Homo-oligomer: A and B are copies of this chain.
Amino acid sequence: MSLQVVLRAGRAVRGRLPLSSVCHGARAVHGAALRSTGRRSLLVAAGAAVTAGLVAGYGHLQRADMASVDHGEDLDRRVAAFMAPPVTELERLRRSGGDMKTRMELLIMETQAEVCRALEEADGGAGFTVDRWQRTEGGGGVSCVLQDGNVFEKAGVNVSVVYGYLSEESIQQMRSRGKDLKTKDGKLPFCAMGVSSVIHPKNPHVPTIHFNYRYFEIEEADGNKQWWFGGGTDLTPTYLNLEDVVHFHQTLREACDQHNPGFYPKFKKWCDDYFFIKHRGERRGVGGIFFDDLDSLSKDKLFQFVKSCAKAVVPCYVPIVNKHKNDSFSPEEKMWQQLRRGRYVEFNLVYDRGTKFGLATPGSRIESILMSLPLTARWEYMHVPPPESREAEILNVLREPKDWVH
């Protein structure tokens, strides 16, 4: 596993970092940050790379330098609002404003900042810790984690932008999904980026949310470029609150319907199928949307769709948080939440593709991959809630997914 210097600092530090030096490497940054701010920051030696299934080597997928002359000031303004400087050098982003990789990197950084700020406001106490890390093999990321807040037990919002050559395992996995990939000497240069998040609240009446939006480019041996989008947003409540679930699905449906009326029903079902804990015969939660390998429309149209989904994260979730964050709850309700957290761990460690490939991949940043796990979880032998109880009510829904909006 390659070791990298990682900058870890409170969010307040970030705004003071000289962007130009940050974008040239974390080592330089760290020194600069320490000297220029004098605030608490921490050097951590850690492996890098969150996107799963990647191995060594710098790829050929250089950003197309399509200059966008009127892009300068707007870019500075956008970047200033991020939780940390973007992974790609600012000058390169400036020169390639029309390239999808640039547009997507800015979108995922922006989504990270929007979600983190909205959660900090809802929490009213704790702030996100920001870790900016680099991956020797190419790229890096920004991990934002809030732990033990007023409202949130553990909230992680992670961005990664990585490139290099795909691992054998990833190539096989993509082929098994039906992709026709022409390699050269077994190699496939790629670029992958995404924002990925899991938010575990303290109160059992506030549900857990997960979302992830990602973009892939692959360059085949004959120069052909493949690309696709993937992603989704899904909700995992401890107890069923019909109004909340309908609001959540309705907000996602509206985001989808702007682009294609077939998207929501298709991606809703995909979500129910994907988040299935087979050995329990239960879904992880009440679903949402999930999609992968999306390349059937133009890049721009699909980007606009993904952007709508990303923009829907805060409105589909934060109102539910605010509605329930002060609800009273019993020790029994907290315990049921902890048992459901155990199932969350089971799904993530046993089935989740990203987690599995991440763990199997040398050079992965394990702490970023496993930040999806809850702060605490519980397993009881033969726990069966009484029929007609509120615990049995949510179990029924997890066993037989419903249509929440029509």
* B379/A373 in contact, CB under 8 A: yes
Q: How many copies does the complex hold?
A: 2
- Given A349-B345, A373-B342, A279 contacting B364 (CB threshold 8 A): yes
Indicate the size class of the contact surface on chain A: 35 or more
Which residues of A, 301-357, contact B by the 8 Å Cβ criterion? 338, 342, 345-346, 349-350, 356
A374 within 8 A of B: yes
Residues of B within 8 A of A145 (CB): 381-382
Taken residue by residue from 151 to 188, chain A's Cβ proximity to chain B (1 for < 8 Å, 0 otherwise) reads as 00010100000000000000000000000000000000
- Given A279-B366, A350-B359, A359-B350, A381 contacting B345 (CB threshold 8 A): no
Q: Among A349, A356, A371, which residue has the most Cβ atoms of chain B within 10 A? A: A349
20 A–B contacts from the bound complex (CB under 8 Å):
A1-B281, A44-B382, A129-B382, A131-B382, A145-B381, A145-B382, A154-B379, A156-B381, A280-B366, A338-B376, A345-B345, A345-B349, A345-B377, A346-B370, A349-B350, A370-B379, A375-B379, A376-B378, A377-B378, A377-B379
Question: Nearest 10 CB-CB pairs, A to B?
Answer: A349-B349, A373-B379, A279-B359, A145-B381, A376-B378, A371-B381, A279-B366, A367-B382, A349-B350, A377-B377
Known: A8-B382, A375-B379. 17 other contacts (CB 8 A): A1-B281, A44-B384, A131-B382, A145-B381, A147-B380, A147-B381, A278-B359, A279-B364, A279-B366, A338-B376, A345-B349, A350-B350, A350-B359, A370-B379, A371-B381, A376-B377, A377-B379
